[in-house]
Amino acid sequence: MRSNFTKRAHRLAILGLCVAGTAPMSRAQEGATGTSFIETFDRLDTKAWYISDGWNNGAHQNCTWSKRQVKVEEGVLNLTFEKRQSGEREFTCGEIQTRKRYGYGTYEARMKTADGSGLNSAFFTFIGPTDKKPHDEIDFEVLGKDPGKVQLNQYISAKGGNEKLVDVPGGANRAFNDYAFVWEKDRLRYYLNGQMVHEVTDPAKLPVNAQKIFLSLWGTDTLSDWMGKFSVEGPTTMQVDRVAFTAAGDPCQFPESIACTLN
């Protein structure tokens, strides 16, 4: 966890950074309303972020989204899962999402995931029918049953099945790790701690619709084959130190950004 002073210094350092990469990427697609940004969670700007509250995503989710499970402390976003009755569910959980939609570019998050089988700590982008668009999605998901791996996936018009598991040395729940993907019109590259771990070039497996950025922690009693048998003792927290988006062709947003070194 970095101090707020260090985070401010990083923002100032952006002024001296070069434009991301030397080869221009495709322009953002129709519907993208968001521009490049870095979020260091000195506070939670609710004009930029929507906090999910008072509902759930369906029968597979055993918790109710609650704004009480979303807090910013000492420059870190904390999303907490705990046993507390809310609405139809025995547990509560936390999620935030951007109000704007983002297109081609570099997406990055530095996070430490929660403990507990049956939980999902996720950094992803999504758009769907509630926004009058097809279901497109790009995922980093750490399943509590095995925090030594992160699952990558894409949905294109609601079709998934593109999962890939990547090792997270030392465990995603033991330390902060850097997760990033670079989304272009003709390819998608996933990165873990600065190293590319997966590349997708099949047009049928590449999302095309601008999406919102999500950070979420939730649990399940029913998807045990995927997420493991639910077993959570006491509150557990997913922590996010930083999130950034660098639009194609824009200067990178912080010195360690993948976008600073892309070709």
HSE (side-chain half, CA atoms, 13 Å) at 114: 32
Q: Which of 108, 141, 199, 256 is catalytic?
A: 141
Pair 206, 75: CB distance under 8 Å: no
CB atoms within 10 A of CB 129: 9
Is 90 in the active site?
Answer: no
Q: Rounded CA gap, 21 and 189, in Å?
A: 15
Amino acid present at 101? R
Q: Rounded CA gap, 189 and 42, in Å?
A: 29
Q: What is the DSSP letter of 227?
A: H
Give the tokens for residue 251.
């200067």
The three-class DSSP label of residue 147 is: coil
How far from 151 is each of 5, 72, 167, 204, CA to CA, in Å? 33, 26, 9, 19
Q: Which of 137, 163, 184, 199 is catalytic?
A: 137
Three-class HEC string of 38-58: EECCCCCCCCCEEECCCCCCC
Is 137 in the active site?
Answer: yes
Segment (H or E) for 80: strand 76-86
CB atoms within 10 A of CB 158: 11
Active site residues: 137, 141
